[in-house]
Amino acid sequence: MELNKLPIYVPDFEVNLRLGKLIILLNELSLNKKDKPVLTLEKISIFEFLTKHPVLLNRILYLKNKQLINLTNSEKYSIEALFPNRGQLFDFKEIKALLNILIGYDFIKIEIGSGFEIYYYISEKGRAYANNLTEEYFIRIQRIIQSMDTFKTLPYSKINQFVAPYLRYGIKN
């Protein structure tokens, strides 16, 4: 006799949810005030990491005297919240694959900078799609991502300096 298993969806393993999360991230953070693209692969990776770890994001916001995010108990007290997996920050394979899917749907565009950096930014089609993601999960993700707006124009190295101490020592409540 085989036991029936309940389907449990982990958002980080579900491709469609990750694509939605990424398109919201690009919609909110990809352009500066002059409509110039600012997101490189590394910055997308670190911002995506911070959306998975809002406790860590709150620590950074607190240090920078920015408004904090109201966190749920699962965001505060899970093992993953207290001890983030730093490997996710340096493995770009999955994010590249997701970005390629979004490029294929013409939801995002790329621009090559003067130093041969590749910048990713939202297209009009992508913006329209992002604005239609109105489910509670995506609204929560959007609020978290909006709190990172002040960091989007900072270089990756500076953002990484904010994150690094917490990855070394874990997050203490």
Please tell me whether residue 29 adopts helix, strand or coil conformation.
Answer: helix
**Cβ pair 57, 144 in contact under 8 A:** yes
Question: pLDDT tens digit string along 154-163?
Answer: 999 999 998 8
Distance CA 16, CA 41 (A): 19
Rounded to 10 degrees, the C-alpha dihedral 150/32/159/110 comes to 150
Q: What is the pTM of this model?
A: 0.87
Residue 7 has a pLDDT of 56
Distance CA 85, CA 170 (A): 10
Residue 1 has a pLDDT of 46
Distance CA 113, CA 107 (A): 20
Question: pLDDT tens digit string along 79-119?
Answer: 777 777 777 777 899 999 999 999 999 999 999 988 899 99
Residue 171 has a pLDDT of 54
**Cβ pair 39, 30 in contact under 8 A:** yes
Residue 32 has a pLDDT of 94
Categorise residue 45: left if φ over 0, alpha if ψ from -120 to 50, beta otherwise: alpha
Give me 98's structure tokens: 């997701």
Sign of CA dihedral 46, 51, 56, 58: positive
pLDDT by residue, tens only, the chain of 173 residues: 455 655 555 666 788 999 999 999 999 999 999 999 999 999 999 999 999 889 889 989 998 899 999 988 878 877 777 777 777 777 899 999 999 999 999 999 999 988 899 999 999 999 999 999 999 999 999 999 999 999 999 999 999 998 888 776 555 54
